């Protein structure tokens, strides 16, 4: 049994959305730009989903900063993580402060409106990938580990669980898995010595609550993408690295995910690999999967569902008033604006 987090169509729930949300495999919703018109609309949408599915239903988004921001103003339009890494070279203390403020503001703003998770932080290396780039902290694996640990701790301080991505590393292979199938031909030893290093170093610390596996084939290790691979998920991540958190496969609608067949075959590959949760970001693709009668015969797995529900967030702000009216947010936002002004001044 692999549970599903589905996307929804727009600013409010459609009949198709309601049907997908009602399916027993659906345990959450992932939001996109198409779901955000303004603050009030988003709050109404979140409250509608909560009224239907309850407080343990997981709501998530990718609000990384930089190129990957789904919600516009009044949510803070955060810079990419790569700025933190670049600043570290010039001013270590300022970079660490920026890292903390980035994580705390991102998490508190989302949690205050009822969003449990931002799938963050990115642990990939900025090493030539078309899709990663400045989404990563830097091209130095050891510095990625250091900054990611600080970022995770700040997310936890805000009340949000963490999701490291894209295991075992998407930053060195050039192709973008949204549009083609990336193949990384390095040996397992080479991967562990470079792209895998941040994941390997952070797993034992317990600061990673969930792990998103990539749709990249590491051909010297396994002939399947990591998100479909028993080798990567069960043997390496679970057994060798002792990861106990939630495993998440990237979106099954991505081009790279199609390498094993139709949507049922993609979902079955996740089941076979033992993945806890997978993303189906396009509502129609989710409906296509749920129309297959074979899903009715999958056994229920309450233990796995309980583990996923532990990703539930807990806001440290007052959820009864907008985040921008609260002093703790105002202080953090003022500090971020001041720090960013200094950084931009140095760049000029």
State the angle between helix axes of 81-90 and 327-347 in degrees (0 to 180), rounded to the nearest 10: 60
State the angle between helix axes of 81-90 and 92-112 in degrees (0 to 180), rounded to the nearest 10: 160
| Tokens describing residue 45 | 């949408």
Distance separating alpha carbons of residues 237 and 247, to the nearest angstrom: 9
| Tokens describing residue 99 | 């890292």
Nearest to 228 by CA among 256, 202, 201: 256
| Catalytically annotated residues | 178, 250
């Amino acid at each position: 049994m692999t549970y599903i987090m589905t996307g929804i169509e727009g600013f409010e729930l459609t009949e198709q959305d309601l049907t997908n949300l009602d399916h027993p495999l659906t345990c959450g919703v992932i939001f996109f730009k198409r779901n955000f018109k303004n603050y009030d609309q988003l709050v109404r949408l979140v409250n509608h989903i909560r009224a239907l599915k309850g407080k343990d239903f997981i709501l998530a988004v990718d609000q990384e900063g930089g190129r990957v921001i789904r919600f516009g103003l009044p949510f803070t339009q955060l810079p990419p993580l790569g700025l933190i890494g670049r600043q570290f070279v010039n001013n270590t203390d300022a970079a660490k402060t920026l890292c903390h403020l980035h994580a705390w503001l991102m998490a508190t703003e989302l949690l205050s409106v009822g969003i449990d998770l931002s799938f963050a932080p990115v642990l990939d290396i900025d090493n030539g990938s078309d899709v990663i780039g400045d989404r990563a902290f830097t091209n130095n694996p050891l510095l990625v580990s250091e900054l990611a640990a600080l970022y995770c701790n700040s997310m936890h301080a805000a009340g949000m669980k963490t999701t490291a991505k894209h295991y075992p590393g998407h930053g060195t292979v050039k192709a973008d898995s949204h549009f083609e199938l990336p193949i990384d031909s390095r040996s397992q030893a080479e991967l562990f010595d470079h792209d895998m290093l941040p994941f390997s170093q952070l797993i034992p610390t317990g600061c990673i609550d969930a792990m998103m596996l990539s749709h990249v084939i590491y051909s010297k290790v396994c002939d399947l993408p990591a998100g479909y691979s028993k080798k990567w998920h069960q043997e390496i991540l679970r057994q060798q690295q002792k990861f106990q958190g939630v495993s998440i496969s990237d979106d099954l609608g991505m081009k790279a995910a199609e390498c094993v067949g139709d949507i049922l075959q993609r979902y079955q590959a996740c089941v076979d690999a033992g993945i806890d949760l997978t993303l189906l970001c396009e509502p129609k693709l989710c409906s296509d999967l749920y129309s297959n009668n074979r899903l009715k015969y999958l056994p229920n797995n309450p233990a796995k569902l309980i583990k996923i529900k532990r990703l539930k967030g807990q806001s440290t702000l007052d959820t009864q008033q907008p985040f921008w009216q609260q002093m703790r947010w105002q202080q953090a936002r003022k500090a971020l604006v001041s720090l960013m002004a200094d950084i931009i001044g140095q760049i000029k």
